[in-house]
Amino acid sequence: MNYRHSFHAGNSADVVKHSLLIELVRALQQKPGALTLIDTHAGCGLYDLEGESAQRTGESAQGVLRVFADANPLLNDYRAAVQAVNVAAEPRLYPGSPRILAQLLRPQDFLILNEKHPEDADTLRSVMRDTSGAVHERDAYEFWRAMVPPRTARGVVVIDPPYEQTDERARITATLAAAHPKWAHGVTVIWYPLKDRATHGRWKEQLRRLGIPKFLTVEHWLYDADQPGIYNGAGLFFINPPYAFTQALPPMLEALRAVLAPEGHRGEIAAEWMNP
């Protein structure tokens, strides 16, 4: 499977990922200390929803465009982050995680980005030129290990790969096992697609055996039963999420489920501790 950002910009997975990422950083910013925000698979940073790649899938119609047609105030911060890169009321451009994280920066915070693909990295540098974000062009998993712990006491690492390599999950598991002891109190966010429950369950069990405390998973299943051979949803692992974030999750998750449920399906989105 291949989840390159440009083909899926603004889809339901982006809505969930970016809504929760905004809430996570806002919760951490309730304390005044500096944060370092690190994105290991940054992509291009900004996407044209009317461009060839996005139009080929048309997934934004079931994602960001649904949110813009909805009035739930719990999604206001997400809508504002998307609107910030657009002129018209209906979005044509979609901000990737780098642009969203850049919007959240306070003067004391730092943003460090990485994108391995040379063409995407060049685009990212251009897109981020008006921000303070530093852009690297390295192997994402080597970069992840090298960047922790950051110079600030607190921070977030976001891992959002395209899952185009068959060993992607194995590399995440191995890198997490190596990086977590170096920065045991740091916040880590790992995005993943959901194709079928059995395969995903086996990966979760491998991660559970790492024995990491404060390991939360949020899973968004679009359909009421698995649809064979297609994308069924996406999820996020959160390591060391702050209390303010987890307490605010239930109403936010229900708002996301309601706005993103495909016609004829209720869908499901839920948070669960991996090692309660």
Which residue has tokens 């995903």? 200
Cβ proximity of 220 and 257 under 8 Å? yes
Q: Is 220 buried (19+), middle (13-18) or exposed (0-12) by CB count in 10 A?
A: buried
Q: Could you tell me what percentage of the chain is helix, strand and coil, using 3-state DSSP and rounding each to the nearest 5? A: 45, 20, 40
Q: Which of 120, 160, 167, 226 is catalytic?
A: 160
Q: Which two tokens stand for residue 261?
A: 């449920």
- Reply yes or no on whether 122 is catalytic: no
Q: Which residue has the tokens 């852009």?
A: 135
Torsion of CA 52, 57, 61, 63, to 10 degrees: -110
> Any residues with CB less than 8 A from the CB of 114 and at least 6 apart, and which?
38, 39, 40, 41, 42, 135, 136, 137, 138, 140, 143
Q: How far apart are CA 148 and CA 142, in angstroms?
A: 11
Amino acid identity, position 200:
H
Of 160, 47, 188, 42, which Cα lies nearest the Cα of 111?
A: 42
- For 13, 39, 66, 143, 252, the CA distances from 62, given in Å and listed in that order, are 10, 25, 6, 33, 18
Cite the active site residues: 160
